[in-house]
Amino acid sequence: MKHSLRTRLILSFLAVIVATAGLVVVLANRITADRFNYLISHAGQLQAQRLAPLVADYYLQTGSWNGVEALIEGELNVRGNPSGRGRYGNGMPMMQMMNMLGSGDDHVILADATGRIVADSVDQETGGNIPQADLDKGAPIVIQGERVGTLIVASGLGTLTPNQSAFLKQVNGLMAIAAVVAGLAVLLVGWFQARRIVAPVRALAEAARRVAHGDLAQRVPVASQDELGEMAAAFNTMAAELEQQHALRRRAMADVAHELRTPLSVLQIDLESIEDGLTAPTPDVISGLREEVTLLNRLVEDLRMLSLAEAGELQMEVQPVDLRELIQSTTRRVRGAAREKGVELVVELPEDLSPVAGDRQRLAQVLLNLLSNALRHTPAEGQISITARQAGDKEVEVAVRDTGEGIAAGALPYVFERFYRTDQVRGRDTGGSGLGLTIARSLIEAQGGRIWVESDEGMGSTFRFALPVAVESRRLRYDHLSTRS
């Protein structure tokens, strides 16, 4: 039979309660009975010792036990002395309590030197023999160094009177009632606890089912700060990330389709014009077609590289790289384009720059992407500066700063996302496939570094990346970068 989590929790609580309460009651009853019997027996032996001198006086006066039955059944019968006080002195508190428990039906027995019963306050039967073990629990009566008899109070043998048995039964019953009440109280608390535990779990399960059916906007309330609250918060974070990734993936597909459609449309129109004889296949027309094919090829290659990176299949040769030499050689490749646009290119590098651990070819690609991006957004007579500095003993930081239009604050968190476009950042009219910064981030993170951007709108932007200082040459497979959409 299938049971819910709440039912299983309640049944578990109930099983633990029943087992624990039952064990406590059994042990408590056993211990209480043993201790009660011990106290009754001890009190009976003390009572016998207190009464023994009077019986000894009787033997001294008569020289025998003849007629002692009257003494045993009358004056010595503790039924007439329930408080433990009388002609033989004040009783102890415990003795008084035991006498009160035995009031009305205590049992006194007198045996002679051979163990034969000579008087009995209850049965009034004589002649029977008392075992030696029971004689040892009585009070010996010694006259002139000779043991002439033994006085026994039955409770001293561990025999409970009806009143004492009723008292013990009442104590045990009260303990059983207390166990039942405690069990019910704990069961009630367990029911509320089970409900408190199951409610968020059910909410989480329902939200997970809706997420599985495509409703990525599902969130669950975080109602506590314990493990259940942490689980709910983790689910909300996961759902938010899934929702964001789904939106990015959908936007990426639309952007890819858009990027491919534009050059393909140009190619189709031009080729149809040539085919229909509307356009002559002049060198200029052929050059334009080649540019569109080149754009398509670059876009496809960027997408291929990005997919390899996200699949963890991009091979990288990581070894110590001299950043000074790499930056200088890379900037030489873009100086012509900067001079054509009228942009000043400034390189400031310290002499004592530590080598970094990275793939030289991939780092050059990152620098080219950042410099190309800066050139597109820096107007004539602007400036692009490349600087590097030692950031402690573990990192080297490189910065590419431009004096372009800058990036709006709302767009800063998204500039490294694929195909993310704003009027201020990049568009088709400024060139590029829209993947350069995304690839730069992937390549830097693949080499154990980090990349970020700082910008004030209208004041230019600064792209920075930091790489770990080289420790040893090693070949790394690009397998530690988290998949991004």
Sign of CA dihedral 225, 230, 236, 237: positive
Q: How confident is the model at residue 400 (pLDDT cuts 50, 70, 90)?
A: very high
Which among 396, 266, 245, 236 is positioned nearest to 327, based on CA atoms? 396
The reply to whether 254 and 336 lie within a common domain is: no
pTM comes to 0.48
Number of H helices, E strands in the chain: 10, 12
pLDDT in tens, 251-282: 767 767 766 777 788 788 888 888 888 888 88
Alpha helices in 63-150 (DSSP H): 68-73, 93-101, 132-135
Q: Identify which has the larger pLDDT, 88 or 181.
A: 181
Report the SS3 class of residue 200: helix
pLDDT in tens, 217-243: 888 888 777 777 888 888 888 888 888
Does some domain include residue 192? no
Query: Does pLDDT of 430 surpass 70?
Result: no
The reply to whether 404 and 337 lie within a common domain is: yes
Of 6-10, 69-73, 401-405, 443-447, least confident by mean pLDDT is 6-10
Range of the domain at 242: 216-311
The reply to whether 337 and 462 lie within a common domain is: yes
The answer to whether the CB of 432 falls within 8 A of the CB of 453 is no
The reply to whether 336 and 276 lie within a common domain is: no
The reply to whether 102 and 246 lie within a common domain is: no
CB within 8 Å of 269: residues ≥ 6 apart: none
Average per-residue pLDDT in the chain?
78
The reply to whether 329 and 307 lie within a common domain is: no
Q: How many domains does the chain have?
A: 3
Report the SS3 class of residue 303: helix
Domain with residue 318: its CATH number is 3.30.565.10
**Helical (H) or strand (E) element with 178:** helix 162-212
The reply to whether 276 and 327 lie within a common domain is: no
Domain with residue 254: its CATH number is 1.10.287
Query: Does pLDDT of 481 surpass 50?
Result: no
The reply to whether 14 and 74 lie within a common domain is: yes
User: Which strands, in side-by-side order, build the sheet including 139-143?
Assistant: 117-120, 108-112, 146-153, 139-143
pLDDT in tens, 434-460: 677 888 888 888 888 999 999 988 889
Domain stops at, among 248, 277, 311 = 311
The backbone torsions φ and ψ at residue 64, rounded to the nearest 5 degrees and listed phi first, read -160, 180
d(CA 371, CA 319): 23
pLDDT given for residue 472 in this prediction: 52
The reply to whether 345 and 277 lie within a common domain is: no
CB within 8 Å of 304: residues ≥ 6 apart: none
Query: Does pLDDT of 461 surpass 50?
Result: yes
Does some domain include residue 333? yes
Domain stops at, among 284, 311, 338 = 311
Query: Does pLDDT of 91 surpass 70?
Result: no
The backbone torsions φ and ψ at residue 314, rounded to the nearest 5 degrees and listed phi first, read -85, 115
* Most confident of the following: 5-9, 314-318, 381-385, 389-393: 381-385
Does some domain include residue 284? yes
Domain stops at, among 255, 280, 311 = 311
Does some domain include residue 483? no
Query: Does pLDDT of 304 surpass 60?
Result: yes
CB within 8 Å of 478: residues ≥ 6 apart: 308, 309, 312, 313, 314, 315, 316, 446
d(CA 72, CA 346): 126
Does some domain include residue 195? no
Query: Does pLDDT of 424 surpass 60?
Result: no
Does some domain include residue 67? yes
The reply to whether 46 and 155 lie within a common domain is: yes
Interstrand relation of 344-348 and 139-143 (parallel, antiparallel or unpaired): unpaired
The reply to whether 385 and 251 lie within a common domain is: no
The reply to whether 341 and 353 lie within a common domain is: yes
Does some domain include residue 184? no
d(CA 52, CA 46): 10
d(CA 417, CA 423): 15
The answer to whether the CB of 449 falls within 8 A of the CB of 358 is yes
Does some domain include residue 171? no
